[in-house]
Amino acid sequence: MNVFRLNLIDEAGTTLFDGHIQPGGRLSREELAVALVAYQSFAAMGKTGGSEPSPKGRLRKDGKIKMEPQGGQAALCRDGAALHAFMVQPNLRESILWNLATKRQLDGVGLVTWNEESKPVWEYRATRLDALPETKLKTDYLARLVPAARSVWLHENLQTAESANGVQYGVFAGSKDQKTKKEKPGTGIREPSASLQLDKAKKSTQSAYKLVSASAGDGVPKAVWRELHSITVLRHAGKAGGPLALEHLRSMQVRDARLWCGALVGDQAKVGDVVESSFVLPVSMLEDADAATHEDAKKCPGPNRTYRLGVGLANGFAGRLQFAVQDYFQCYDPRDPKKKRKDRADSMKKLRQQKANAAATRFWTALEQKAESVLLRDVAVSSGKYWSGDGNWLARSPWGKEVFRAAKDAYDFACPHETSRQLRAYAAGLRVLFREKSSAVEAAKDDTGDDDSDQI
């Protein structure tokens, strides 16, 4: 294969890690080293480039076992489009130090091991895959820091390489085989830089948790700020929570730290997008896993819970926005008499979905610009300034006003309201968007002087 595959360049030529590199050129030894580490961490599942005897024993015409292309698992950091978080320090040495887990932390988590004989994978100096202690490497912390998910041989010309399966680390969650319909068990091992959250859709205690993902489904990326509350839960004894190294923030007695979060989102071998964000994280945002499950609605919530409620408020308005746009176009049907009834219905359905997607994109983009400054550093950190016992305090807060404005702006953007027919449909959609006269509406009216009551 061409060495540019190590940079995760797909057929369309998209470069993820090095924008200056163009297919057909030449990589330096330094660039190859960085690309190789990235490839070992983010290689996609699917065909790896190697071949192996048919797992099902298929035979050739001469009676010998047929050689078939190898199918590999997703590399450790690509599993489930998981969000990975690292603390950023003034220099590389301190950044590495702050993001390493201690033996005590690993012993508390379980599954991942740290033995006296543990060592990085390159110190085994093995030239054959079967010479590596694969069972030990799957769970060993030091061996997983720089994984060997693929066997890669770089040619001397620095332009081509050979790739085949490496160590089969497995994936965190179980899955069902599409052909056999049998359940494939997961390892339950997540990377120390990844986060876990409770999977409410599953009732089984063995699969009660899932990786905090940057995917909104179908390869669509999700902004990091929408999961920041899940990342900043301190994890103990195998419970849900964020990266292990975040515990250092309390022991180091600092007020805040810069946190980088990122993920690669894609469907199998296809690269969808790279999601990344950086936050100045107040240490007060950190919450113990036990505290997250024992909340008193009658008390003023802490920063983490306030942030979580703020994301929930935005999610609620995002759902309303989708229904409002759909309702608008059900009421306003720009019929084309030249089209047949079925063609008109198909065209209308496609238009509704396009407008709903456009509204959602505009809504989330607007809130992303305000999430850190308003939700994190104002409302969440200073929740006592806005909290009241009536249940509508968050809607009246500055974040509630931003959510209302973003929803109203996105609805106006997707739904024209100039002609009389458009205005009737617009009013119908507004009733769905603001189906209750929420405190966010009242707060925004007081803040802007606009009165939308005659439209709702």
- Average pLDDT of the segment spanning 159-164: 78
Whether 254 maps to a domain, the answer reads yes
Tell me: do 312 and 421 sit in the same domain: yes
Tell me: do 285 and 320 sit in the same domain: no
The residue from 258, 293, 328 where one domain ends is 293
Least confident window among 36-40, 71-75, 437-441: 437-441
pLDDT for the residue 454 = 28
pLDDT of 418 strictly over 60? yes
Whether 112 maps to a domain, the answer reads no
- What b/e sequence results for 348-385 when a residue is b if at least 16 CB atoms lie within 10 Å of its CB, and e otherwise? beeebeebbeebbebbbebbeebbbebbbbbbbbebee
Share of the chain above pLDDT 70, in %: 76
Whether 397 maps to a domain, the answer reads yes
Tell me: do 253 and 340 sit in the same domain: no
The whole-model pTM stands at 0.80
Tell me: do 206 and 310 sit in the same domain: no
Q: How many domains does the chain have?
A: 2
**287 contacts 304 by C-beta, under 8 angstroms:** yes
Tell me: do 279 and 369 sit in the same domain: no
Whether 79 maps to a domain, the answer reads no
Which residues neighbour 147 within 8 Å (Cβ) at sequence distance 6 or greater? 40, 41, 75, 76, 121, 166, 167, 169
More confident position, 302 or 291: 302
Tell me: do 235 and 348 sit in the same domain: no
User: What is the domain range of residue 203?
Assistant: 188-293
Q: Are strands 175-176 and 183-184 parallel, antiparallel or unpaired?
A: antiparallel
- What b/e sequence results for 148-159 when a residue is b if at least 16 CB atoms lie within 10 Å of its CB, and e otherwise? bbbbbebeeeee
Confidence label for 443 from pLDDT (cuts 50, 70 and 90): very low
Tell me: do 444 and 343 sit in the same domain: yes
Tell me: do 287 and 323 sit in the same domain: no
Tell me: do 223 and 308 sit in the same domain: no
pLDDT of 438 strictly over 50? no
Tell me: do 349 and 288 sit in the same domain: no
| Cα–Cα distance for residue pair 348/321, rounded to 1 Å | 18
Whether 228 maps to a domain, the answer reads yes
Tell me: do 224 and 311 sit in the same domain: no
What CATH code is carried by the domain that includes residue 328?
Answer: 1.10.132
| Cα–Cα distance for residue pair 93/119, rounded to 1 Å | 20
Tell me how long the chain is: 456
Q: Residue 371: CA atoms inside 13 Å, Cβ hemisphere, count? A: 27
Least confident window among 52-61, 76-85, 446-455: 446-455
Whether 10 maps to a domain, the answer reads no
pLDDT of 210 strictly over 50? yes
pLDDT of 436 strictly over 60? no
- What b/e sequence results for 168-195 when a residue is b if at least 16 CB atoms lie within 10 Å of its CB, and e otherwise? ebbbbbeeeeeeeeeeeebebbbbbbbb
pLDDT of 37 strictly over 80? yes
80-132: per-residue pLDDT in tens?
888 999 999 999 999 999 999 888 888 777 678 887 778 888 888 777 788 88
Residue 166's nearest CA partner among 154, 181, 155, 153 is 153
Whether 174 maps to a domain, the answer reads no
Tell me: do 341 and 382 sit in the same domain: yes
Q: Which of 29-33, 43-47, 306-310, 341-345 has the highest mean pLDDT?
A: 306-310
pLDDT for the residue 439 = 41
